[in-house]
Amino acid sequence: MRVASFQFIQRNLNNISARTAQANDQLGKMSSGKRVEHASEDPVAANGILNYKQELRKLAQYQNNINLAENRLRREEWALSSAETTTQQVKEIMLGANNPAITQQERDAYKEELQSRIDEMLDLANTRDEFGQYIFGGFQTDSSPFIRQPDGSVSYGGDGGQRDMMVGDNVRVGINHSGEVVFGGVPNPKGDFIASYALGGEAREDNLRVEKAAISDKTSFTDAHDYTIDFVDDPNNPGGIAVIVTDDNGVSVPADPNNPAPYVPGEKITVDGVDITIKGEAKAGDKITLSSDVNDGTGEDSRDVFDILNRAKDWLESDGHNPSGQSEMSDILNELDAMGSHFTRVRADTGNRMQRIENQQVTHEDMSLTLNKLRGGMEDLDYAKATGEFSQTMVALQATQTMFGKVQSMSLFNYI
């Protein structure tokens, strides 16, 4: 077969171009560190690489969510811890003020200190996150959830919403507790009612107090509060004390006021489906009133933090060194204990959420390592192998160029 000079030259030039392109491609892969840069190079591997990258991007988004959730929960944990400390400080103030020997100047100092603690608690209730959103407002995050009213009371303008964050496939974690729960959900140590005392001025060794006033039978409970508890001389026991409980409709227990039940400290009294337990020394003429701000048949089973603090403030502003004041002081201290325990429980739940986030983060890190290893096995270049192939390509290219140069310079005239 006759081979023209043009065909010979063109074929060798094409060979050199192909070798050069191959070398450039190999060099490019060595520069990028990628074995598969285009789907056409290995369609199966390219599809697997794409799936792995999508999973890794999803894990990266979950990690961003985890960071955000963790920051907000840490801010909430700080606020709850500070609220615990403030509650303990308020209790110490009340114990210090419950001393009849203190001067008016000392009493005024306790008042100012208590007001500072109330202001601090209000600031904590209006804590913001790093984006300026109120963390205790539920879904209402753009305005202060707790507002002080002219009379000193504090109202809640948020809602009961809980914001969730996706931190994994089908895994959501709450990143807040609403102010309704944190500052309005302190369990009432009495049960379902608040006691107020109108006791005689005689000193007594054991303060008269309501230990429990809880709804025990919802079917018979008519919500007929206020309930008035009167202590009278026992007609059947000279020198003894009897008790009469009257509801808001005038119905009394026992039914015959002329034959009242003897007062036995710690013995349960049931009226209108409400179990009442009273302890302490009672005297004829003492009166206790059980009230509730809730009228839906459930009772006031939870207390508001700022109502408790304002009750303590009212005690400081009055003369509490009398039997009535001492009974109320006992209730205030119990409510402060319940308040501190409540903050601790909410803080513990916050800690549980943070632990769940941390566990999820560890899972994502392990999964990321696995996915990166699998992706790297498909996509990343084997430099040892690539270097050898590149060297072979360069040797072949140089041999082709050398041979073509020598053959191209040959002529029959050299042999004539």
- Integer Cα distance of 202 and 180 in angstroms: 41
Say whether both 227 and 161 belong to one domain: no
* The pLDDT of residue 249: 84
* The pLDDT of residue 412: 47
11 belongs to a structural domain: no
Distances (CA, A) of 48 to 54, 61, 85, 376: 10, 20, 55, 11
- Integer Cα distance of 323 and 181 in angstroms: 34
Say whether both 43 and 174 belong to one domain: yes
The pLDDT-based confidence of 373 (bands split at 50, 70, 90) is confident
What is the span of the domain harbouring residue 232?
A: 194-300
248 belongs to a structural domain: yes
- Integer Cα distance of 336 and 93 in angstroms: 11
Average pLDDT, the chain: 84
387 belongs to a structural domain: no
Q: Does the pLDDT of residue 328 top 90, yes or no?
A: yes
Percentage of the residues of the chain whose pLDDT score is greater than 70: 76
173 near 76, Cβ under 8 Å?
no
The predicted-structure confidence for 162-210, as pLDDT tens digits, reads as follows 999 999 888 899 999 999 999 999 999 999 999 999 999 888 889 999 9
Span 223-245, average pLDDT: 92
The pLDDT-based confidence of 266 (bands split at 50, 70, 90) is very high
285, burial (CB in 10 Å: exposed 0-12, middle 13-18, buried 19+): middle
Say whether both 49 and 158 belong to one domain: yes
251 near 192, Cβ under 8 Å?
no
Say whether both 184 and 247 belong to one domain: no
* The pLDDT of residue 260: 87
The pLDDT-based confidence of 250 (bands split at 50, 70, 90) is confident
Please give the tally of structural domains in the chain.
2
Say whether both 278 and 340 belong to one domain: no
* The pLDDT of residue 210: 96
77 near 350, Cβ under 8 Å?
yes
The predicted-structure confidence for 38-85, as pLDDT tens digits, reads as follows 555 556 555 666 776 788 888 899 999 999 999 999 999 999 999 999
- Integer Cα distance of 369 and 354 in angstroms: 23
The pLDDT-based confidence of 396 (bands split at 50, 70, 90) is low
Say whether both 202 and 149 belong to one domain: no
Residue 312 corresponds to which tokens in the numbers above? 């303590």
259 belongs to a structural domain: yes
- Integer Cα distance of 102 and 112 in angstroms: 15
- Integer Cα distance of 289 and 203 in angstroms: 20
Say whether both 228 and 328 belong to one domain: no
Q: Return the beta strands (E) in 226-364 as ranges.
A: 227-233, 241-246, 252-253, 261-262, 268-271, 274-279, 287-291, 302-303
196, burial (CB in 10 Å: exposed 0-12, middle 13-18, buried 19+): middle
* The pLDDT of residue 124: 97
Span 242-254, average pLDDT: 84
The predicted-structure confidence for 169-182, as pLDDT tens digits, reads as follows 888 999 999 999 99
Percentage of the residues of the chain whose pLDDT score is greater than 90: 56
254 belongs to a structural domain: yes
Q: Does the pLDDT of residue 138 top 80, yes or no?
A: yes
Say whether both 120 and 167 belong to one domain: yes
The last residue of a domain, from among 251, 270, 300: 300
Say whether both 208 and 61 belong to one domain: no
Say whether both 68 and 149 belong to one domain: yes
Counts for the chain of helices (H) and strands (E), in that order: 7, 15
* The pLDDT of residue 204: 87
368 near 59, Cβ under 8 Å?
yes
- DSSP secondary structure string, 114-151? HHHHHHHHHHHHT-B-TTS-BTTSTT--SS-SEEE-TT
Which stretch of 222-236, 248-262, 340-354, 377-391 has the lowest confidence by average pLDDT?
A: 377-391
49 belongs to a structural domain: yes
Residue 188 corresponds to which tokens in the numbers above? 């009432």
φ and ψ at residue 196, rounded to 5 degrees: -125, 150
Q: Does the pLDDT of residue 20 top 70, yes or no?
A: no
Span 291-297, average pLDDT: 88
408 belongs to a structural domain: no
Say whether both 168 and 99 belong to one domain: yes
Most trustworthy range by pLDDT among 1-10, 18-27, 43-52, 345-354:
345-354
Where residue 49 sits, what CATH number does that domain have?
Answer: 1.20.1330.10
